[in-house]
Every structure is written in structure tokens, then in C-alpha cells.
Structure 1
């Protein structure tokens, strides 16, 4: 399983949470996303799409975590259909001096963008692991020369979060 543990302020807006998840995972914010929270879908409205989303702009995490909601889904890339289970493990009093997001733990590398979802990622991992695979060289070139499915670098994750202003 690929996972990340983030510390975020409850005052974080959903767009900033999206960017924090993007940075922590290693995604490049190249596709649409949405949050599925308590039977509602929040995201960036697509003027050309047929999805009915509540505009996430300005909505704080604390306002959608009313009651006992401690788990929701973050969906990224509606083609590859990456579903992320988000679990709120702890809520602490706000610290006004701390406004950023921080990745504090994680495991395994994030699949590359546009790899083809779970089935495509499985094929990709098989191809790069087997030098005799017919797509071995092409896949390594496509991903930039090297990819370790077991790798995770917390410092790189936090650098990406800061870069994306998550």
C-alpha cells in the first residue's frame, strides 16, 4: 500500500489540502480532482464537464468535518481514477504560528502521472523490474531513467508541498 501521513491545520482550505496531497504523493497537479465528503462532492468546477461539484474555493477542512466525519475520499485524475482514503487521525487546538502542511511519514513511491491507473501501474512495475520485458527500456525512458516502487523520500515530499503551496 502507498500512503502518506500529513499534518495540516484544520483551517486549511480544500484547494490547499489538494495541493498538500499532490506534493506529498508526488503528483504534478496535471488533472482534475474532487473530495467526496459526507455524500457531497467538492472540487474545482469544470465549465465544460457534466459533473455537479460544490466549488471548493474558500471551503475550510474544519467546516466539512462537522459531527463525527473522520474519513473521506480524495479522487485525482478521473481517467486513471486514483482514490485516496483520507483519515483524520487527530484534531488538535490550532497554533496560530503554524499555517503550513507537513508530511511526517509515508511509504512507497507514488505511481507516475498517466500510468493508467492501478492496472497500468502494475504493468509499469513489471516492465521496469524485468530487463527482458519488451517495454522495459521504453518505460524507464518514459519515467526519466529510474523508478523505485519501494522508494519514498520525506524531504522531497515536503519540498514539493512547499513548492505547491499546500
Structure 2
């Protein structure tokens, strides 16, 4: 089967400001590779579990990395190709990352391009992804309010926690396509061994 390019619009649901990415990936990617492409595009650090599902997280078939703690059957993301789910334009799916913070993403297949691509590529991006472990939308809102109110003590705490340099502040509107595609370039058309070796520190790679 020929490898095409799938172009997706992925939006972080209920985010203020709106956070979204438009990315292109190989049509023969499996769902774990797709998960890593989403992580790289948004700027998540792959510190938590994830699952894909159609509409209802509690009722639909789940795709992720199975664990002994799963309350419902989870299909292995490494064994299911995304082109078995995304077969035509406008097909939609959901992706949830970090079950505690509950970051829900809406995925829409914009189009199928009849040409191959070998490295995930982001063509459009809006606004910064919230920091890891901020406490979901509620925690992120509290953080943004602290910056808006110029609460020096809280800002200092957040800056230290996020790892910003002295003199830097968090900018929820900052988003760099160059930085995103630098991250995505590390994925490429990788083998498992290459992924383990070259992924950024903190990006979790499950044991196959």
C-alpha cells in the first residue's frame, strides 16, 4: 500500500487561549508514533499515559499502551495503523493525555495528500501549550491570572517551577514553528531503537 500524507488539525479542547496545531504525518504511522508526533507538536514531554478514542472515553474502544491497571480493554497503539481509522477527510477522533490533568485533544483529518512524507511536519500552530502538571485547565487559569495580576511572588514560583531563566516570563501566546519542527525532526521515520537513543530526555518510550 502506498504511503500518503495525512494532514490533521488538532485542538486542545476548552483551552483559553485556543491552542492548536496542524500537522502532517505518514499514513502508515501507528498510533504510538502518532502520539509522539502530537507530543512533539504541542510541546508535551510524554510524562504521562495517553489514550485515543472516538467520542466517549468511558464507552468507546480505547487505543493506548496497555497496563495492568486498565479498567477496560486497551488496544496496543503500537499495533494499529492510523490509516485504519482515518480513511477519509473530516474523520475525527479524540486523544487524551495525562489522565490526572485531563488534557483532551480533538483530532480532525483535514485531507489526504497523495504524496509521501517521512518526517512529521507542523504547518500551523497557535499559542503555547500549558506546562506539564499545572493542574489541568483550572490550574493553568490560576497561573495565567498570577501573571496578569503581576503577582511577583507567584510569578517567581511559576518561573522557577517551569524552568525559565531569570528575566523571562511565561507567554501563553508564544509559539514557534521552527522549535516545533526541530522536535518533530527527531522522530522521522524511526525505528524503536533509534527512538530510544535519540528522543529528548523525559520523553517516555514504553518497552516493546
Taking structure 1 as the reference length, what is the TM-score of the superposition?
A: 0.90
Match 2:80 to one of 52, 59, 83? 59
2:108 maps to 1:87: yes
Q: Which residue of structure 2 lines up, in the alignment, with residue 128 of structure 1?
A: 147
Q: Contact 2:91 / 2:109 at 8 angstroms: preserved in 1?
A: yes
SS of the equivalent of 1:79 reads coil
Match 1:43 to one of 64, 79, 97? 64
Shift of residue 66, structure 1, vs aligned partner:
4.4
Unaligned 5+ segments in structure 2 are: 1-17, 190-208
Inter-CA distance 2–114: structure 2 relative to 1 (3 Å threshold): same
2:163 maps to 1:140: no
Q: Contact 2:146 / 2:154 at 8 angstroms: preserved in 1?
A: yes
Counterparts of 1:67 and 1:8, CA distance in 2: 15
CA deviation vs aligned residue, 1:33-84 (integer Å, no higher than 9, x gap) = 0001373210000123324211111211111224777111010000000000
CA deviation vs aligned residue, 1:84-132 (integer Å, no higher than 9, x gap) = 000000012242xx22210110100000000000000101111133323
2:48 maps to 1:31: yes
Q: Contact 2:120 / 2:187 at 8 angstroms: preserved in 1?
A: no
Counterparts of 2:135 and 2:108, CA distance in 1: 25
More displaced 10-residue stretch of structure 1: 109-118 or 120-129: 120-129
Match 1:105 to one of 105, 124, 137? 124
Q: Contact 1:130 / 1:136 at 8 angstroms: preserved in 2?
A: no
Aligned length in residues: 164
Taking structure 2 as the reference length, what is the TM-score of the superposition?
A: 0.73
